[in-house]
Structure 1
């Protein structure tokens, strides 16, 4: 009976050993299967990553040293005076041409009226001088007519003297031949003397008319010079009127662009002077991105390449953009105290160059404000410039 029990126990041990061996073999097969599957997955992943890197990844240049910028405009007055009214509040949207600040205009209105009066005075002076010039022209015409008349009288006197001279010569011959009386000769001689005197009088009158004409011409030249002087004064008065008009218009300080008011420092009754900053207008709709890329990342970058922009303020909100331009120098070149590496202790540092990126479209996910941090990814693929990848 003990032999039967021992046989039964041995059989049970042998059975359990077989079962354990089968389970061990199953575990080994499962382990090998898992290893093969894992290796296959790793291989597929490596191949997929390699293909992605070869086709896309190696063309993507990314940096988190990027910020939103905008060409905001500081607003300052062109004239001095006391602020009468501030018409905008902090962070208020404004349109181009909207009045931001109004300066008291009493003095500038008075200057405008003074300029208008001076212009009216100079215009009247010009008109009077033009009338004087016309009178002088009429006088010149009259003197020319008188000179023509004097020339005619002189020619007539010369003709009369010639006739009298011929009569005197003819009567002298007749008297020698006793064909005429001495009285007729004396009468002919007197006529010749009168004709000679008439010639001298006509010549004197001609010289007098010629002198008067010269005086009239000189007077016209003086009147013409005076007219030019008065026209110059009128031009000066017109310029003063334009300046006064511009100064009056400058009492209304307007927004030069569409944007949002910021840095509002101006207050009512404050005295302002030209160049004093009052506030700023920020064109938020014209915001762009400046990304500082390492110099080793610029090799394949070109203007026009597509850019993915991730905004930190909106949990990675995605925007589309494109590269516009590159800075002509690194940030260190334009620093207040640029570094000088011509020293004994030299440490090479990779430089960063600002790259300007324009945002192509603005969605309704919230405003993109200057100063926000972003992450930019430039697609430098030579055949796919402008096609960005998520």
Structure 2
């Protein structure tokens, strides 16, 4: 089979001006010294920033003391019964606000009422033997009678003595009158002593009556101050004993901050120094206060097992000194401080 090959034809180039093709221009490489200068400038700025920050902290530390080892503290008042008995009523709930004088718990008081009635009856019986505002008692009547007999006996003696000197009456009669006067004096002294004894018995009976009434009043447990009920462990029908913890009342209107400063930080801290602190529960919220007092001893000395450095196993540890801080303002209802909250404290010492 035959193959036909056609001749190639070349087209002439179009007439016109020739344009030169642009060639890439080589730029000179940056000098190594320029890069070093940039790096050194950045490092220098960073170093200056660190030096400035360190100087600022050093200057701040000259007049301020800071610690995060601090907590809010306050009174936690235990509610303890003074008498034992069965619980009749529990009138509060956990975390309930109470006011001073509110009744928290009521104990069964029937036994105490019976005891009070018995002591009142004993007192009434004893009052019948001594004087009172409305009547004369037996003991006082006996004293009055003995006093009248003594006065009569001494009067008879005064009349008979001149007659005996004139031998108008016999000596035997004079001796009998003298003996009667002495007996009347003795009877008066005895009646007065009986009256004093009766008064003492009445006083004892009245004290027993008052004690019974006081025991009856103890069957109602009242809130000693305004606050919030916490840690309630009592229920109706429970048998409680004197001194048994039933609940606690925490007054939130009287709280303070205890900052445990290192012993090396307390050299310039004095009472009255201003304090700024924050609480972890309220980020960004600042509170103001003042140093109220410093503890007379470190916290380790009040621990259950104080360290004994004389045993030979001595390791020096920086001790902590509790510093009490009083708030400048009352506890806020919107941001209440509760005992146990963690605090960051800064004290201005100069």
Normalization by structure 2: what TM-score? 0.82
Equivalent residue in structure 2 for 1:290, among 237, 258, 266 = 258
Matching residue of 1:89? 93
1:50 and 1:261 mapped to 2: Cα distance? 50
The corresponding residue for 2:332 is 363
Deviation at 1:341, TM superposition (A): 2.7
Deviation at 1:277, TM superposition (A): 0.8
Name the counterpart of 1:257.
225
Query: How far is 1:310 from its partner?
Result: 0.7
Secondary structure, in 3 states, of the residue corresponding to 1:342? helix
Q: Which residue of 2 aligns with 1:139?
A: 149
Match of 1:372 in 2: 341
Counterpart for residue 326 of structure 1 = 294
Aligned-partner Cα distance in 2 for 1:51–1:372: 30
SS of the counterpart of 1:274? Answer: coil
CA distance in 1, matches of 2:225, 2:216: 21
1:75 matched to 2:79? The reply is: yes
Question: Counterpart in 1 of 2:304?
Answer: 336
Q: What corresponds to 1:62 in structure 2?
A: 66
What SS class does the counterpart of residue 77 from structure 1 fall into? coil
Contact 1:150–1:202 under 8 Å retained in 2: no
Q: Per-residue displacement from partner, 1:122-157 (whole Å, max 9, x unpaired)?
A: 2221221111101111111111222223224334x5
Matches of 2:112 and 2:56, distance apart in 1: 74
Question: Whole-Å Cα distance in 2 between the matches of residues 152 and 340 of structure 1?
Answer: 93
Q: For 2:332 and 2:43, how far apart are their aligned partners in 1?
A: 43
Shift of 1:301: 0.8
Matched, 1:271 2:281: no
Residue 126 of structure 1: SS of its match in structure 2?
coil
Aligned length: 323
Aligned positions of 1:188-227 closer than 5 A: 199=168, 201-227=169-195
- C-alpha distance 349-38 of structure 1, shift in aligned 2 (>3 A): closer
Aligned partner of residue 264 in structure 1, secondary structure: coil
Question: Gaps spanning 5+ residues in structure 1: where?
Answer: 1-7, 159-198, 382-390
Work out which of the residue numbers 273, 290, 299 in structure 2 matches 1:305: 273
Partner residue in 1 for 2:17: none
> In 2, are the aligned partners of 1:91 and 1:260 still within 8 Å (CA)?
yes
| Alignment map for 1:2-13 (pairs within 5 Å) | none
- SS of the residue 1:346 aligns to: coil
DSSP-derived class of the 1:91 partner = coil
Query: In 2, are the aligned partners of 1:81 and 1:272 still within 8 Å (CA)?
Result: yes
Work out which of the two has the higher radius of gyration on C-alpha atoms and give 1 or 2.
Answer: 1
User: SS where residue 325 of structure 2 aligns?
Assistant: strand
* C-alpha RMSD of the superposition: 3.0
Find the aligned partners of 2:64 and 2:308 in 1 and give their Cα distance. 33
- State the Cα deviation string for residues 249-272 of structure 1 (Å, max 9, x = none): 111111111111111111111111
Give 1:237-248 correspondences, 5 Å limit. Answer: 237-248=205-216
Matches of 1:296 and 1:147, distance apart in 2: 94
Deviations 1:57-79 (A, max 9, x none): 42211111111111211111111
- What 5-or-longer segments of structure 2 have no aligned partner? 1-19, 132-137
Q: Report the CA distance between 1:42 and its aligned residue.
A: 7.2
TM-score, normalization by structure 1: 0.74
Rounded to whole Å, the distance in 1 between the matches of 2:333 and 2:120 is 53
Q: Secondary structure at the match of 2:193?
A: helix
Partners in 2 of 1:238 and 1:334 — Cα distance? 46
Checking the alignment, whether the CA contact within 8 Å between 1:150 and 1:206 is kept in structure 2 is yes
Could you report, residue by residue, the CA deviation over 1:96-130 in whole angstroms, capped at 9, with x for unpaired residues?
11111111111111221222222222222122111
Greater percentage in helix: 1
Q: Distance in 1 between matches of 2:199 and 2:102?
A: 39
Residue among 94, 105, 119 paired with 2:109: 105
**8 Å contact 1:83–1:268 — kept in the other structure?**
yes
1:148 corresponds to: 158
